[in-house]
Structure 1
């Protein structure tokens, strides 16, 4: 069953400031409107490969919402990502037959600023290392606009790779196999010198990389493994503060001149890097 990357979610406290910051970084940002439950509103950054970033902020307290951040405990940053199925119901049924449970289909929607109403269904995983499902009931072009709004002055054309912080790579691989199919080609290994285990999984033109610290705690005799800026240290910190989920995103560009790591102050703590892919 074919699944592709649909979108990546960045939760923020102040949507208008976030829009301005991403525009400063060279992105075209589209205001998305208010969701059907009235709890959140969003803005979108559409990419030429068909995926997009969703910038989402809360309009009111919503402790029942899966992305609610009580007392601003974890703050801005990545909170989730979604895959696009042909049918949410069929994908959930197939995944459950292979041993992974999803809740749904659950109806959702949004009212755009121009008055257009969008409708979709989602599937919610019971394990936080997995993406949710988002399938359109109205045309997808209403949800993420095509055309020139996907052409950004920073040269970004699509999502090259997405990394996910997990606690146990092998356990997560088993769940991804159940979601994406038993024949999924997976490469597993250990990042020498980084105290990190990984697995890479193909998803269309995007690669998903699962990352986990090789040990539960940094060793006292290995200063590098606990120093700031070290990958294992950053993963442990992410898992402790935010739990399993999106750790970083690499965006592709055809021009080496655009390649750079974007400043966390402007991406609202979302690790985003632009890399040259010719």
Structure 2
């Protein structure tokens, strides 16, 4: 399997400057990002290790990814989708095509495309990716960058130096993806993306949801489904079909991070487990949790 980890999480925003300021207040170091030539979008990045959060805005509605334009029109700012990192994109593409041709999944890969970002200072980085069609919502896509490791991080920094996050954010611990039923979610990632679940399903009491984990080489995908109509996940899937529900990022000390956020005027909820949930009013609608890591 060439899929290695969650590469980046896309957060749709209306204004990049406002969004960058919001995430700086959350204790992220945010880069100046750049523009995607010919694709009608621009971004700012909060670079983690090895993932990053991408604040992405539409500059030209006619040229931008239609799903992104529709998402902002229907739901406003918030979690949009995510990319899975591949260390052999052609192998993943071929495997995806085989599964689709064999009728294992209704999901099908689109033709791969070459992406490019140009910074305000004229620096350039590139990647190759393919999107996934089918289903009832926006699907995760696969990506392979033109570099990896520290070289990739330097390129993600853009024109400047990549500075530490004031709140010492580390990596994406897990990303929760919600479906109407757990069986649907398991089939989506197992049969569509070739990932394998680990362990038996369990219950997440705080979300009144069933869940199962798909471990990657780094991090994991948490598939969740509502246990009943009272579950907060039920309203999400009723509105969207399925999609990225929430993201958890590591910090060395969750209690200290919560104290720092509160000192910045950011509302948080401290769970008995030690997890800290940030009020979505401060994250542009993103359900963001901080976990020890």
Deviation at 1:196, TM superposition (A): 2.4
Give the drift of 1:185. 2.8
Q: Which residue does the alignment assign to 2:291?
A: 275
Aligned partner of 1:80 in structure 2 is 81
* Deviation at residue 57 of structure 1 after TM alignment: 0.6
Taking the aligned partners of 2:234 and 2:88, their CA distance within structure 1 comes to 36
| Alignment coverage as a number of residue pairs | 261
2:243 is matched with: 245
- State the partner residue of 1:40: 41
Q: Where does residue 134 of structure 1 map in the other structure?
A: 143
Q: How does 1:197-276 map to 2 (within 5 A)?
A: 197-215=210-228, 218=229, 225=230, 232=231, 234-256=232-254, 257-259=256-258, 260-276=276-292
Deviations 1:93-140, CA, capped at 9 Å, x for gaps? 112323342112122212111212222221111244742111124663
- What is the aligned partner in structure 2 of residue 228 from structure 1? none
Taking structure 1 as reference, are residues 208 and 179 closer, same or farther at Cα in structure 2, changes over 3 Å only?
Answer: same
Using the size of structure 2 for normalisation, the TM-score is 0.79
Q: Bigger shift: 182-191 or 83-92?
A: 182-191
Looking at structure 1, the residues matched to 186 and 14 of structure 2 have their Cα atoms a distance apart, in angstroms, of 33
Whether contact under 8 Å (1:191, 1:197) holds in the other structure is yes
- Deviation string for 1:56-106 (max 9, x for gaps)? 011122375221137722100000011111122220211232334211212
TM superposition score normalised by structure 1 = 0.83
What are the equivalent positions in structure 2 for 1:12-27 lying under 5 Å apart? Answer: 12-27=13-28
Evaluate the alpha carbon distance shift between residue 152 and residue 213 of structure 1 in structure 2; reply closer, same or farther with a 3 A threshold: same
2:137 is the counterpart of 1:121: no
C-alpha RMSD of matched pairs (Å): 2.6
Gaps of 5+ in 2: 259-275
Cα distance, 1:182–1:134 mapped onto 2, change above 3 Å: closer
1:148-172 alpha-carbon deviations (Å, 9 max, x no partner): 7362111211111110111232132
Task: State whether residues 255 and 276 of structure 1, in contact with CA within 8 Å, keep that contact through their aligned partners in structure 2.
Answer: yes
What's the CA shift for 1:194?
5.8
The verdict on how the C-alpha distance between 1:168 and 1:120 changes in structure 2, with shifts beyond 3 A counting, is same
Q: Which residue of 1 aligns with 2:264?
A: none
Aligned counterpart, 2:2? 2
CA distance in 1, matches of 2:96, 2:191: 5
